[in-house]
Amino acid sequence: MNMSFALAAGGTAAGFLAGMFGIGGGALVIPILIYIYRDAGLNPTEGIRLAFGTSLATMAFTGLSSYLSQRRRANVDAVWLRKLFWPAGIGATCGAVLASHIPGIWLALGLSAMLAWFGVNLVFRQERPSSQSTVLLRFHSLAGFFSGVAYALAGMGGASVVTFYLTHVGLPLRRAIGTATGVILPISVGAIIGFGVTAGWPHGWRWGYIDLHALLVMSLCSIVAARLGVKAAAALPTHRLRRAFGLFMVALSIRTVVTVFTG
């Protein structure tokens, strides 16, 4: 498959799903990049780190596009976004610095575990009304920090952590998803600092563990697709789409493990 086509397709799918489900899109972007770099002959650990760094940088643009669309629909809680914004960014920076020194196989296994967990959750999750926990209300900084660390180390799940937390402190699900898209931006910027700035100056379309060519192609496609995803979320039977996406994530988890151990 042509590399540019694969990057464009991955960016489009990731952006659409980010807009629809309020996720970052790393569930799709990272496996695609791992396959591309494996076929290009990169060292497995180098390729996996590069996939993580590039994916997290791409999500800055996807998240911003989703956030602006959600805000226009009044689905963003500005108070909670301010509370989570900086802790999430700091957590992502710390997680990215740590991830840049972890063997690639462990990063891939972490990604696979998160894919499987969230995939199963999407398939079997029942819609429940939001609840308010007075205990969780006190730990918003810790929740933001953890979402950033989780996103950097597993390549996904940061926005899902935020959505889970916000629904348990009283926000309706749609508003929690919209607010989570705003938290993707500081997480991605923090990851760019961790994977890019701390790993050297740009050279040959590389900036540390960020592939600038892949970042450019996937970002352009994801920005447009994210807006379409937000519109689709209001018009399509999202419960069926969510379950289909969950099954896809479980299959992707298995495929990622197989690729790492047989590639």
Q: Which residue has the higher pLDDT, 245 or 87?
A: 87
pLDDT at position 79 over 80: yes
List Cα–Cα distances, 236 to 27, 74, 110, 177, 226, in angstroms: 21, 19, 31, 16, 15
Chain segment 187-230, per-residue pLDDT in tens: 888 888 887 766 565 566 777 788 888 989 988 888 888 778 87
Could you tell me the two tokens for 104? 């690639």
Q: Which residue has the higher pLDDT, 200 or 166?
A: 166
* Amino acid at site 185: L
For residue 156, what pLDDT band results from cuts at 50, 70 and 90? Answer: low
| Half-sphere exposure (Cβ direction) of 235: Cα atoms closer than 13 Å | 6
Mean pLDDT of the 52-81 span: 85
Residue 158: its pLDDT value, please? 66
Residue 82: its pLDDT value, please? 94
How many distinct structural domains can be found in the chain?
1
Residue 238: its pLDDT value, please? 62
Distance of CA 150 to the CA centre of its chain: 10
Range of the domain at 153: 3-262
Mean pLDDT of the 222-242 span: 75
Q: Which residues contact 162 (CB under 8 A, 6 or more apart)?
A: 84, 88, 143, 144, 147, 176, 179, 180, 183
pLDDT at position 52 over 90: no
Residue pointed to by tokens 């996996």: 48
pLDDT at position 81 over 90: yes
pLDDT at position 129 over 60: no
Residue 191: its pLDDT value, please? 81
Residue 150: its pLDDT value, please? 79
Distance linking the first and last C-alpha atoms of the chain: 17
Q: Which residue has the higher pLDDT, 74 or 207?
A: 74
Classify residue 259 as exposed, middle or buried by CB count within 10 Å of its CB (0-12, 13-18, 19+).
Answer: middle
